[in-house]
């Protein structure tokens, strides 16, 4: 009997191994030797029956397992698809309650930080003011999240960081608006990304003309259409563009009897565009702006630039660029060379950071900036400045524009009355006769503000001092 069990065991193992190999597609499996005794025959029959039963059981188990796995996979896939669909739908489903998130993307690292902090503070004030301190519009809870589009390595805005910020907003189903950017070059990165999902973008500071409209002699070929792949405008700005700023600069320089102007730009979209605008209106005013050069902000000094200026002997020097492109060092080296002719720049250097960077050389520098001085602002604007100063301290040039950007976004959310990107974008585009801290204004069809006033200020004793207002006809 023991031998019979041994034979049965061996036979069953052989059959099972052969079955496994066959199932795995292995062609090397061989047939077990035939039994020569009656006992062996009996054992083989028993083994065959056992193997058949085992195989049937195995097949049934495998079928059940496969069915279970398939069902689980289908359920998981359905859940994943449902989750994706839910995330996509919630961004434009027209919900009547829940969280509405507003992102801002601004350079919070480097020398821009001082001014940017004031914009963020102002945006928080706007939310408190608009919602009466509740943080709610109807049944919606407003969640404001500031993002940094600068890096410590660059000390200013960074294209890759701005791209990451825009994608973060695009993929957040609760994101209904994006306030930014501060730098025009950064806007050129994010506008097309946000445009593809119809996410509204409002800038408190971009002035490069080509972001919203074409202007001969200023903008690049294909602008601004290249920024809007869907053909629908999703970008707006509450500050006046550089074609107006360039014209304002020339109008003022004429009052200084400047007939020959040496123009410098910092090679970035904003700086080059502004310098182009100055040259364009310089020619229209029959002035000489033939001397021009570019810097990249990485130079160790600007002694050679100063030498070129001295050789050209202009009546004035104009700089189109930002503080973070070494503007302080530029003006310091020009003054160190004994050049005392008027130096003027745009709103890119209209900040305390420029004064700090240039030191004593900043004294006497002229700048242009959108809007009016505090004492000439409408009552709402003056009230905002007083309340801001009482809570946080001094304002910067773009502090009030941060407040107005958030204010107009919140108004669009209230007007839309629904958590829907398209509805909010439409409400923004239809903004007309908006009674804000900057005055009464609206958005033009291309996304520009209808306000066109610029002011000229001069640095005296380390402070920006109002000189005059300019509203050029262009």
User: What pLDDT shows up at residue 95?
Assistant: 80
User: What pLDDT shows up at residue 94?
Assistant: 76
* 21 membership: H or E segment, kind and range: helix 2-23
What is the pLDDT of the chain when averaged over all its residues?
A: 85
- The CA-based angle 333-335-340, given to 5 degrees, is 150
Mean pLDDT of 391-403: 97
Q: What does the domain layout of the chain look like in residue ranges?
A: 98-240+377-443, 243-370+457-470
User: What pLDDT shows up at residue 96?
Assistant: 81
Question: Residue 235: pLDDT above 90?
Answer: yes
What is the pLDDT confidence band of residue 38, given thresholds at 50, 70 and 90?
A: very low
User: What pLDDT shows up at residue 52?
Assistant: 35
Q: Which fold has domain 243-370+457-470?
A: Rossmann fold (3.40.50)
What is the pLDDT confidence band of residue 26, given thresholds at 50, 70 and 90?
A: very low
Q: pLDDT, tens digit, for every residue of 128-154?
A: 999 999 999 999 999 999 999 999 999
Higher pLDDT pick, 86 / 288? 288
Higher pLDDT pick, 125 / 40? 125
What is the CB neighbour count within 10 angstroms for residue 2? Answer: 6
Question: Residue 47: pLDDT above 90?
Answer: no
Domain 98-240+377-443 and domain 243-370+457-470 have a common topology:
yes
Tokens of 106: 């601004």
Please list, in sequence order, all residues whose beta carbon lies within 8 angstroms of the beta carbon of residue 107, skipping any fewer than 6 positions away. 113, 116, 148, 149, 150, 156, 157, 182, 183, 186, 324
Higher pLDDT pick, 40 / 473? 473
User: Comparing C-alpha atoms, which of 456, 448, 4 is closest to residue 237?
Assistant: 448
Question: Residue 320: pLDDT above 90?
Answer: yes
What is the pLDDT confidence band of residue 473, given thresholds at 50, 70 and 90?
A: confident
Let me know if domain 98-240+377-443 sits in CATH 3.40.50.2300. Answer: yes
Tokens of 31: 């047939």
What is the pLDDT confidence band of residue 91, given thresholds at 50, 70 and 90?
A: low
Q: pLDDT, tens digit, for every residue of 401-453?
A: 999 999 999 999 999 999 999 999 999 999 999 999 999 999 999 999 999 99
Question: Residue 397: pLDDT above 80?
Answer: yes
Question: Residue 373: pLDDT above 50?
Answer: yes
Half-sphere exposure of 290 (CA within 13 A, CB side): 7
Could you give the percent of the chain with pLDDT greater than 70?
80
Half-sphere exposure of 439 (CA within 13 A, CB side): 17
Give CA separation, 29 vs 23, 34, 48, 51, 436, in Å.
10, 15, 17, 16, 86
Q: pLDDT, tens digit, for every residue of 93-138?
A: 578 889 999 999 999 999 999 999 999 999 999 999 999 999 999 9
Mean pLDDT of 215-237: 97
* 412 membership: H or E segment, kind and range: helix 399-416
- Return the HEC string of 165-211: HHHHHHCCCCEEEEEECCCHHHHHHHHHHHHCCCCEEEECCCCCHHH
Question: Residue 16: pLDDT above 70?
Answer: no
User: What pLDDT shows up at residue 92?
Assistant: 52
Q: pLDDT, tens digit, for every residue of 238-273?
A: 999 999 999 999 999 999 999 999 999 999 999 999
The DSSP result for 67-136, as a single string, is HHHHHHHHHHHHHHHHHHHHHHHHTSS-BSSEEEEEEEEE--SSTTHHHHHHHHHHHHHHHHHHHTTS-E
């Amino acid at each position: 009997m023991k031998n019979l069990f041994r034979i049965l065991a061996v036979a069953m193992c052989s059959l099972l191994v052969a079955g496994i190999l066959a199932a795995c597609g292995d062609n090397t499996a061989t047939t077990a030797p035939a039994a020569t005794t009656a006992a062996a025959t009996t054992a083989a029959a028993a083994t065959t029956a056992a193997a058949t039963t085992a195989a049937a059981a195995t097949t049934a188990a495998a079928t059940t397992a496969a069915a279970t796995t398939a069902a689980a996979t289908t359920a998981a896939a359905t859940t994943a698809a449902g989750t994706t669909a839910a995330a996509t739908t919630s961004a434009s489903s027209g919900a009547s309650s829940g969280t509405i998130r507003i992102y801002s993307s601004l350079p919070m690292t480097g020398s821009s930080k001082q001014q940017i902090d004031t914009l963020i503070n102002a945006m928080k004030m706007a939310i408190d003011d608009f919602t009466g301190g509740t943080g709610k519009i109807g049944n919606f809870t407003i969640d404001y999240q500031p993002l940094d589009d600068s890096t410590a390595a660059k000390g200013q805005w960074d294209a890759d960081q701005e791209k990451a910020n825009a994608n973060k907003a695009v993929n957040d189903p609760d994101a209904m608006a994006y306030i930014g950017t501060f730098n025009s070059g950064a806007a050129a990165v994010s506008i097309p990304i946000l445009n593809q999902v119809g996410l509204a973008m409002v800038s408190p500071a971009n002035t490069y003309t080509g972001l919203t409209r074409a202007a001969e002699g200023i903008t690049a070929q294909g602008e601004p259409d290249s920024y809007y792949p869907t053909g629908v405008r999703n970008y707006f700005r509450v500050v006046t563009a550089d074609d107006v700023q360039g014209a304002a600069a020339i109008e003022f320089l004429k009052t200084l009897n400047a007939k020959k102007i040496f123009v410098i730009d910092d090679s970035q979209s904003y700086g080059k565009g502004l310098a182009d605008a100055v040259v364009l209106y310089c020619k229209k005013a029959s002035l000489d702006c033939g001397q021009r050069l570019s810097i990249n902000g990485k130079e160790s000094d600007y002694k050679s630039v100063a030498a070129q200026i001295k050789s050209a002997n202009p009546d004035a020097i104009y700089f189109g660029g930002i503080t973070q492109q070494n503007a302080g060092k530029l003006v310091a080296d020009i003054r160190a060379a004994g050049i005392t002719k008027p130096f003027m720049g745009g709103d890119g250097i209209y900040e305390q950071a420029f004064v700090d960077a240039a030191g004593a050389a900043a004294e006497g520098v002229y700048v242009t900036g959108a809007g009016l001085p505090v004492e000439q602002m409408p009552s709402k604007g003056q009230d905002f400045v007083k309340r801001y100063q009482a809570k946080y301290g001094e304002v910067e040039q773009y502090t009030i524009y941060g407040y107005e950007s958030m204010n107009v976004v919140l108004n669009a959310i209230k007007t839309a009355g629904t958590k829907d990107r398209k509805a909010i974008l439409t409400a923004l585009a239809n903004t007309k006769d908006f009674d804000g801290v900057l005055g009464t204004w609206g958005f033009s069809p291309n996304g520009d503000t209808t306000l066109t006033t610029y002011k000229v200020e001069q640095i005296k004793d380390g402070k920006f001092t109002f000189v005059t207002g300019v509203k050029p006809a262009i």
